[in-house]
Amino acid sequence: MTATIGWLGVAIAFVLALAGTAAPAALSGRDAARSFRLGAIAIGGQLVLVTAAVLALVWALVTADFSLQYVAQNTSLRTSLYYRVTGLWAALEGSLLLWEWMVVALAGVVAWQYRARHPELMPWVLAVFSGVSAFFLGVLAFAASPFDRLWPIPPDGRGLNPLLEDADMFTHPPLLYAGFVGLTVPYAFAMAALVTARLDDGWIATIRKWTIAAWLFLTLGNLFGGWWSYHVLGWGGYWAWDPVENAAFLPWLPATALLHSIQIQERRGMLKVWNLSLIIVAFALTIFGTFLTRSGVLSSVHAFSSGPVGGLFLGFLGLVLLGSFALVALRADRLRAQPELDSLLSRESTFLLNNVVLGAVTFTVLLGTIFPLIAEAVTGVKLSVGAPYFSRVTVPLFLALLLLMGIGPLIAWRKASLDNLRRNFLWPAGLSLLAGIVLAASGVRETWPLLALVMSAFVLLTIVIDVVRAVRARRALAGEGPVAALATLLRRNQRRYGGFVVHLGVVLIVIGITGSMNFSREREATLAPGESVALGRFTLRFEEFRVTERPTHARVEAALRVFNDRHDLGLLSPALKFFPTQQSPIGRAVLRAGWKEDLYVILSGFSDVRAGQATVKVLLRPLVSWIWIGGGVLVAGAALALWPFRRRLREA
């Protein structure tokens, strides 16, 4: 019954999606209002049907209905309610359904919000949404259905993949999908503008906040992925430049570039073709990412199931890339007549440079990711591209971005005068150089970390000095106190200060990455009860093993008492988890987070529970916490930029 409801929902929605895609073309754009109504009905119908399908699958998961293959493979009778619900995205089929649900939900919001605006564009916007939705529904109905039945019905299911059994199952995957799906909005508007040849700037302002929101979700999705990897996978790292990680990171790069270059188009009417290209590339990279993770064409530490879906995604990717850019090529004549750059020393040119650098990062990461394929196609040689390539190539580019991040927001539009430069950059440059000298004197001698920290200081100082000046001016002008003046500034100029706060978050993340990547220390030791291992200011004394039974697995914990200059800081208990369905145990690392450094402990093995020797790996990773704090600051900044202050004023 559940399976029938789900499958029918998906199949009927697929038909509706096809109709919705064809609607404006079938009406040949004569009657835009009618076309919009048809499109909106199609979207609304898909939303209802897909919601029913999602609820059917969640119901089947929660009630452990093992007559569905998907349920039997991703949940078991021992699985707790939390992981039954999150089982919706524990494997390919359910993830696609969640993704599709997000697409139609977003389409519904867009259709509702712009029902009275962009009358020529909206029919096509909805058609593009229906088209994207049709692709996913087609895959869900015919290639990777979560509603396939299983016979005979097994008494119990296989259960959730043990690595997914973590609280972050609720954050990382949905956030990442939300980011991917969010990039459909700019893409749909861009396609609509190209098809209708209405390339005036109205739609660019509309997609800006959608792009910020999508960008925010992408950023959070990646950060939560890093956090998950850091505290679950037990290797002490948060990013490994693995193909699947790159796939999640790649759309973020053109989306970031777009956020900046949109401002130039809004302000100066420049870079229209460039912005369209960024939108298409960002959207195509979300499809590319799914293709990469689900096709099995590249070897990755992330073992995802693959199947016929890879080929379908490749076909869709080809359609999106070639079709969209062909449209750009055909419309390029209308995108001309743009003003030229006035000067190299201007905000336009720094933003442009930021885009060029982000484009270069996108290209190098993409090249590194698919290089094994290119190499094998051309020379027949198997090889893999690892972290050293990515670090060496991208670190200088990221540092260039950091520098531009300091300059961009403060340099004048059109042409910066010497006075403008001196006023804004003399103090930050001087002070950050001073900070560099102090750092070098205190022992930070390697070039790249030193540069990263100096530039972080530079960006921080430009922001601080600019805000202090603005607050002072406001106080002189309106006689407000410092806090009230700051609040007024944030509200009145939320885009600018939202951007500053986001930049602040990025600087914190850079500091965290710099610290943890360059100044980590580690030690491995095999300890009998009572023996200790010391690293940095910490001493860890191994006390005993504890064996506990959890609903889904057995756990062996090594209790280690941590001392810091003879203060007892309590117990840390890294564990090995033994799942009956897995041949090898899964580690559970523990960490003691701190402002300065994290103490990270991994239980690598034990001789025998009775003989009682534990082999532990202890890591000191400086400044990692600042990555997560920076993430929080970044959310606050994006929220500030998006918060509807204006509308409230208007309504009041």
Partner 1 sequence: MAWKRLLLVFGIGAPLIAVLAFGFTRDPREIASPLIGRQAPPFDVRLADGRALALADLRGRVVFLNFWASWCPPCRAEARALEASWRRHREQEVVFLGVNMQDREDAAREFLREFGITYANGLDGGNRIAIDYGVWGIPETFILDRTGRITYKHVGALGGETIHAKLEEALRGEVSRLEGKGEYRSIR
The binding site for partner 1 (CB under 8 A) comprises: 291, 295-299, 310-311, 314, 317-318, 321-322, 325-326, 328-330, 332-333, 370, 372-374, 376-377, 382
CB 384 → partner 1: shortest distance, Å? Answer: 8
CB 304 → partner 1: shortest distance, Å? Answer: 13
Q: Pull the structure tokens for residue 648.
A: 């409230």
Per the CB < 8 A criterion, the answer to whether 515 and 623 are in contact is yes
Per the CB < 8 A criterion, the answer to whether 415 and 346 are in contact is yes
Nearer to partner 1, 322 or 468 (CB): 322
Nearer to partner 1, 310 or 529 (CB): 310
Nearer to partner 1, 9 or 585 (CB): 585
Nearest CA-CA partner of 348 in 466, 458, 261, 421 = 261
Nearer to partner 1, 373 or 609 (CB): 373
CB 191 → partner 1: shortest distance, Å? Answer: 15
DSSP-derived 3-state class of residue 591: strand
Q: How far, in Å, CA of 30 to CA of 120, rounded?
A: 10
CB 273 → partner 1: shortest distance, Å? Answer: 10
Nearer to partner 1, 384 or 532 (CB): 384
Per the CB < 8 A criterion, the answer to whether 5 and 56 are in contact is yes
Nearer to partner 1, 64 or 314 (CB): 314
- Cα distances (angstroms) measured from residue 232 to each of 80, 169, 515, 623: 19, 11, 21, 19
Q: How far, in Å, CA of 204 to CA of 272, rounded?
A: 10
**Single-letter amino acid code for the residue at 68:** L
DSSP state of 280: H
Give me the DSSP letters along 164-212: G-SGGGGTHHHHHHHHHHHTHHHHHHHHHHHHHT--STHHHHHHHHHHH
Nearer to partner 1, 193 or 328 (CB): 328
Q: Please list, in sequence order, all residues whose beta carbon lies within 8 angstroms of the beta carbon of residue 368, skipping any fewer than 6 positions away.
A: 241, 246, 385, 389, 390, 393
Q: How far, in Å, CA of 106 to CA of 184, rounded?
A: 9
Q: Pull the structure tokens for residue 388.
A: 């050293």
Nearer to partner 1, 298 or 603 (CB): 298
Q: How far, in Å, CA of 35 to CA of 23, rounded?
A: 6
Q: How far, in Å, CA of 526 to CA of 266, rounded?
A: 62
Q: How far, in Å, CA of 515 to CA of 76, rounded?
A: 42
CB 111 → partner 1: shortest distance, Å? Answer: 30
Nearer to partner 1, 26 or 332 (CB): 332
Nearer to partner 1, 318 or 386 (CB): 318
Helix pair angle (184-196, 202-232), 10° resolution: 150
Nearer to partner 1, 322 or 434 (CB): 322
CB 324 → partner 1: shortest distance, Å? Answer: 9
Q: How far, in Å, CA of 152 to CA of 155, rounded?
A: 9
Half-sphere exposure of 516 (CA within 13 A, CB side): 27
Give me the DSSP letters along 493-562: THHHHHHHHHHHHHHHHHHHHHHHHHS-EEEEEEE-TT-EEEETTEEEEEEEEEEEE-SS-EEEEEEEEE
CB 235 → partner 1: shortest distance, Å? Answer: 20
Nearer to partner 1, 329 or 344 (CB): 329
Nearer to partner 1, 127 or 328 (CB): 328
Helix pair angle (172-182, 202-232), 10° resolution: 160
DSSP-derived 3-state class of residue 308: coil
CA 342 from chain centre, in angstroms, equals: 35
